[in-house]
Amino acid sequence: MKAIEIKPNIYWVGAVDWTVRDFHGYVTPRGTTYNNYLITDEQITLIDTVKQDFSQVTIDNIRSLVDPSRIVNVVINHIEPDHSSSIEKIMALAPDANIYITDKGKKGLDRHFNTSKWEFKIIKTGDILNIGKYNLLFLETPMLHWPDSMMTYVKEAKLLISQDAFGQHIATSARFDDEFIECASRAELKDAVIDYYANILMPFGQLIKTKIAEIKKLDLEIDMIAPDHGVIWRKNPGDILQRYLDMANGKASLSITVIYDTMWHSTELMILPIMQGIKDEGVGCKVIKLRATPMSVAIKEFWKSRGCLVGSPTLNNLLFPTVAEFLTHLRGLRPKNRIIGAFGSYGWGGGAVKEAYEEFKKMKLEPFEPGLQVMYKPSLEDETRCYEFGREFAKKTKDYHVKFLE
């Protein structure tokens, strides 16, 4: 895609990655984009680079506007390789450019590249760089989502360049939210936002709230938010800020996701009566089989619902490996504000359900106890127990959900 002017003399010069389906282990069925921005002010300023596979794409986009050797400033908002790994090529073309970066960002770049010949300017929150008509205000956002992370606010353009925050993994010819909604749908964009938040930003809800409050306190006028992935928010940027606040505050739908795996279908057979119990209590329910679903999709579906039931057969007195993997992954994301329970079949000693609750305890999620175990295969009597288990879990989920209603 060619460079696009998003504000006067501010251009998107990034790359669309139509084919990536595995983004460091995270499934990206829609592909992604690596967004970076060039400001052709008195001092030509590049904000972020792109993944190194696409170096030539961004260099060509820059060259369509200016000779890259004229770049005076390179701002690195975030050093993860999908945004910084073209830096060597950029600096080879503009060796005298100053790199504006946080202290932790510089330390990270030093570990990845030979930076000895590069000129760095270490910035802190509140520092302002005048590049001509525009002033750039830097805002550190440590641990959103790396220690080095920061954002750049272009004051006179009312533009917040937000690095990973507010992004989505979408490859599209649409550069803006309203264009994407026009050619795809609002629902697809919403799903991509949730997917991104659940898999990348879920651990940082409290930090997100603090940072958004800080931005509001600074009274910055924002009429466009340009993240480093996906579409740029220009229609109503306040919406995406509010959506992030809602997610950080634990917003979820009153629904239940059942996430499970099975060996000889016994755990699977428990699900139908459990679902019927949930449905008869008036709560929606979705079922995810782990061996048939990418991990990042299971995480997204977990995050959408207020309640989750985890089903696992016992294997060698432990959780079934795919379920253990899911719970380990989930624990790393530090989920909050969800109620969770476990069920499963066993042959003799059992152990999976007990281990699942130990994991829930580590995560400090609201546990629904006791869990439900069935020996070998559910009998008619067991099916009734499953139905009651589902029904009771749905009741508790409704009660728990009330806490989050305004």
Please confirm, yes or no, whether 42 is among the known catalytic residues: no
Q: How far apart are CA 181 and CA 98, in angstroms?
A: 38
Q: Does 366 bind ligand FEO (CB under 6 A)?
A: no
Closest CA to 3 of 69, 61, 63, 89: 61
Binding mask 132-151 for ligand FEO (x = CB under 6 A): -------------xx-----
Closest CA to 153 of 208, 80, 220: 220
* Complex with ligand FEO: residue 30 or 145, whichever CB lies closer: 145
Mutual angle of helices 237-248 and 205-217, in 10-degree steps: 140
- Spell out the SS3 assignment of 70-95: HEEEEECCCCCHHHHCCHHHHHHHCC
- The correct pick among 211, 229, 234, 304 for binding ligand FEO (CB under 6 A) is 229
Instruction: Name the active-site residue from 41, 48, 82, 359.
Output: 82
3-class secondary structure, 244: helix
Please confirm, yes or no, whether 196 is among the known catalytic residues: yes
Considering only residues 83-112, where is the footprint of ligand FEO by CB under 6 A?
83
Residue 260 Cβ vs ligand FEO, minimum distance, rounded to whole Å: 31
- The correct pick among 82, 261, 281, 359 for binding ligand FEO (CB under 6 A) is 82
- The per-residue b/e assignment along 304-336, b for 16 or more CB within 10 angstroms, e otherwise, is bbbbbbbbbbbbeeebbebbbebbebbeebebb
3 CA to centre of own chain:
26
Instruction: Name the active-site residue from 17, 48, 140, 164.
Output: 164
- The correct pick among 53, 80, 103, 214 for binding ligand FEO (CB under 6 A) is 80
Residue 36 Cβ vs ligand FEO, minimum distance, rounded to whole Å: 11
Among the residue ranges 38-46, 76-84, 202-210, 258-266, the one whose residues contact ligand FEO (CB under 6 A): 76-84
Q: Which residue is nearest to ligand FEO (CB)?
A: 80
Binding mask 159-188 for ligand FEO (x = CB under 6 A): -----x------------------------
Closest CA to 364 of 338, 346, 389: 338
Q: How far apart are CA 121 and CA 118, in angstroms?
A: 10
| Binding positions for ligand FEO, rule: CB under 6 A | 78, 80, 82-83, 145-146, 164, 228-229
